[in-house]
Amino acid sequence: MKNNSQSDRQKFIRHAIATAPIVLAILIGVKGNLDVLSGKPVLDVIPSMITQAIQLIVKTHRTQKSFEEIDRIKKDRIAQNPDD
């Protein structure tokens, strides 16, 4: 029972981490639109949005690689100790 709730918790955390970049991308777009509507020049807003999007992509890629590494380590550990 304990193992199942831990698995459910891990799935929830992974789901939350997977949806976070989508929410952040939407917020970047909304903030950009609000900046333009508030009178900021489009040529100032667009580069800022591009910079934020690139930072988001890099962070998402790093997080994905980190999870892949954790999964690989877990699989190696299970293969070495199948009785645990």
Domain ranges of the chain: 21-80
Segment 18-76, tens digit of pLDDT: 899 999 999 999 999 999 999 999 999 999 999 999 999 999 999 889 888 888 887 77
Helix axes 42-80, 2-37, angle to 10 degrees: 170
What pLDDT is attached to residue 10?
A: 80
What pLDDT is attached to residue 57?
A: 94
What's the rounded Cα separation, in Å, for the pair 42 and 19?
28
What's the rounded Cα separation, in Å, for the pair 84 and 78?
7
3-state secondary structure (DSSP) of residue 81: coil
* Residue 52 or residue 81, greater confidence: 52
